[in-house]
Structure 1
Amino acid sequence: MGYLYILGTILFTVYGQLAMKWRITKFGSLPDPIYDKLLFLLKLIFDPIIFSSLISAFVASLFWMAAMTKFNISYAYPFMSLSYVLVFIFSIFLFKEPVTAYKIVGLGFVVVGILISSRSIT
């Protein structure tokens, strides 16, 4: 059951990041004047999709707390790197972000790191 908590953390984190990026892109750039920045950010917070991404971050935290009852943090935390991999993959398809050899090699190192660190169960 502990791995389901980690998976829940990852999935809710990934959803939150992707949903927030998608909606913020629709709103445009952050304005320069401080008053306009505050209004802009308030408008973002009350957007239903962005609000759902904030709720998603909260739910991910609940899953993470549950995972912490099952695993040492030094074992569980590297699995959070899978969120980088998933966000990268989805960002290619959803946002047409570029794929470079450096990104692929870097993600390869992340995956190898997860595999190595998951072997040391204590």
Structure 2
Amino acid sequence: MSYLYIVLTIALTVYGQIIIKWQVVNAGEFPEASVSKVWFLLGLLLNPWIISALLSAFLASMSWMAVMTKLQLSYAYPFTSLTFVFVLVLSGMFFHETITLPKVIGMGLIVLGIIVGSRG
């Protein structure tokens, strides 16, 4: 069951990042004027999608606490690095961000590190 909570933590974290990026892009350019910046950010905070992303961060934290009741931190925490891999792939799919060879190699090294670390 602890691994299910790890997967849930990762999924909720990735969801939050993708949703925030999507809504920030939809909101337009960050204003130059100080007062406008405050209103811009308040508008984002009141956006239902952003609220769902913040809720997902809270739920990810709750799920992570469940993980911590069953597994050692030094074993479980490296798995959260998979968020980088999923965010890279989804950013390419949804936002057409460039996925370069160095990024792919970096993600491969992260996965390799998780595999090696989980065996030790």
Equivalent residue letter for 2:61:
S
CA deviation profile, 1:70-90 (whole Å, cap 9, x unmatched): 111111110001111111111
- Among all aligned residue pairs of Structure 1 and Structure 2, give the percentage whose two residues are the same amino acid: 48
User: What's 2:86 paired with?
Assistant: 86
User: What's 2:61 paired with?
Assistant: 61
Unaligned runs of at least 5 residues, structure 1 = none
Correspondences of 1:27-38 after superposition (within 5 Å): 27-38=27-38
Shift of 1:35: 1.2
- Answering whether residue 54 of structure 2 is matched by residue 46 of structure 1, we say no
Shift of 1:36: 1.0
Unaligned runs of at least 5 residues, structure 2 = none
Aligned residues: 120
User: What's 1:9 paired with?
Assistant: 9
User: What's 1:108 paired with?
Assistant: 108
